[in-house]
Chains A and B, each alone.
Chain A
Amino acid sequence: MTDTVIETRALTKRYGRVLAVDRLSLQVPRGHVFGLLGPNGAGKTTVMGMLLGLVRPTSGSFSLLGTSGGGRDALRRIGAIVETPAFYPYLSGRRNLAYFQGVMGRNDPRELDRLLELVGLAGRANDAFKTYSLGMKQRLGLAYALLGDPELLLLDEPTNGMDPAGMAEVRDLIRDLGREGRTILLSSHLLNEVEQVCDSVAIIARGRLVVQGDVAELLRPQEQVRLRTTDDAKALTILTASDEVEAASAEDDALVVTIAHERSSELTALLSKSEVYVTEIAPLQVSLEQYFLDITGENGERSE
């Protein structure tokens, strides 16, 4: 059993003159909830489409569940939602699921009941799909993706169109599915969603991989503390001159100091020598959003 469930090697997709995905190399470990993060138009859906065989890659290769190019057997072990869930508008939610279950060669009404209950659609299961709200359509899409108890889930913007409560429910569900040992590739442009749900993340911009790694690992190098002192101006001068401090700046009514985590305790001693006393000190957790903006905004061209 391989430890890498999805591996892409220089995967490229070109639509005429537009390069949608540019030599993307990803590794998604087994059992991880893996976020594919990027702004709209970054190429996330195209990557998903290529993995599912919906979109033919221009060049490069990939393997899914140990099968090169994602063969027939591999695809049967995958559940997916790509873009807005698409179903037959005149069929009910239950009949839509029954159809797709039947196409998979199975007929298990109890599975339909269980999945409809799981996604909170049991009460509307017999209503026509065309009467569903976007959030309900997303829920049905999630139920569809879970048909056949797949070991790999590809979820493209699964909370799109949902209200905050619905988003929270779906995120909980995704976390639970991840805890069950499933590998999940979750594409999203919602940074907090990826931060809350994912173990690992790959950030892509303009079709190129910007960075890939564990969410916690990516945030760790950005260790900063927020500091208030008895004399902020004097403290800033001292800190800026210090070799231990990587950077220091005044922001609002406090100082933000970048310093290696293990040395942050030395700040108070350093300042007290000059009779500047720390009145407040707290680690400043850099959000994924800030990190994302740092590397895709001003430094958006930085890649690999």
Chain B
Amino acid sequence: MTAEVLALTRWEWYKLRRRRLPWILLLVNVMLMQFTFWVSYASYRAGDEITLGVDPSTGIVGAVPAEVLALPNSAVFGLLASHGFVAILIIILTAPVTATGYGWGTTRPVRRVSDTRWLFLAAKLILVALLGAGATLVGTLSVTLSSQVAYVTLEGGRGIAASAAWGELIRTFAKVVYGLFPWIALATLFAVLTRSTRLAVGLSLGYAVVESIVFESLTGFEWFERVSGFVMSWAIDDWLGSTEAQLASIGIGDDSSLGTAAAVAAQAEALRGFLVSLAYIVILNCLSFWIFQRRDIAGAKGE
């Protein structure tokens, strides 16, 4: 069964790689990560520190020193800073991978030769997950390259010193890739449910916007504070770590401000984020498989 799913995954790639969409999204991903990096670089050239972000409750969260331009910090920082954009890109890729089969009616002939439907959907999910990981890797490598260029242009790395271990980069890479899976599951569910690429992308992005904007406005309520950890995108953020924890994790910022208790709390949050994300992945995928397996497969919708 595993061999069959992997063979189907290979054939999914056979046809997907001949579309423009995955290559365009890969290019956008690389450009976004490059943008993040070179904005940091430009800020560093302008002054000595780079403002990373703003926390609405405390004001400026962190001013990132020059270490962010050196490897492996630069790659870790690039991964963490761009994961929100990458999630959007993976939604845009995932929805058509499943929904175009309905639109073009190609699910019908595939069904004829692969009667166990879940294998077919599993192959699509595996492919998108692999592509998500691949795109993240390419983006990371591009930042690595830029980091080397920046190092040279800053007169031998004026004041830049690497402080994070390379192991941290691998760990962050794995976390960021895992953080894509709930979005893949969400977009797949909407694709199977609506059988439309446009609707699936719209609903998935709409859901992300609702979480980031509407739920953000509810943070003042005590009841929401209790459940906020179970909102999907927030759970993913918890898994990746808060901004302060991110900075500390790559050796940037004031470690001491976190304190032991705060570090333990951050670890607990990350664990909860992992488990909540896992629950989303399992539940959304189970729903997708159930619908895909049960529902009649109609002809082309012409979309």
Contacts and interface: CB of A to CB of B under 8 A. Distances in A.
Interface string B203-219: 00000000000000000
A127 to B, nearest CB: 14
A86 B105 contact: yes
Given A53-B111, A82-B108, A105-B7, 8 more contacts: A49-B296, A79-B112, A83-B105, A87-B106, A89-B104, A95-B18, A99-B11, A144-B109
Interface in B280-303: 294, 296-297, 299-300
Interface residues of A, number: 35
Interface in B84-113: 104-106, 108-113
A103 B115 contact: no
A102 interface: yes
A88 B114 contact: no
A68 interface: no
Interface string B110-139: 111111100000000000000000000000
B221 interface: no
Contacts of B114: 103-104
User: What is the predominant secondary structure among interface residues of chain A facing chain B?
Assistant: loop
Interface stretch (A70-78, A203-211, A239-247, A273-281): A70-78
Interface of B: 4, 7-8, 10-11, 14-15, 18-19, 104-106, 108-116, 294, 296-297, 299-300
A103 B119 CA distance: 11
A44 to B, nearest CB: 13
A88 B11 contact: no
A297 B255 CA distance: 86
Interface of A: 49, 52-56, 70-72, 75-76, 78-80, 82-91, 95, 98-100, 102-105, 144, 147-148
B108 A103 contact: no
Contacts of A49: 296-297
A269 B103 CA distance: 68
A14 to B, nearest CB: 12
B14 A102 contact: yes
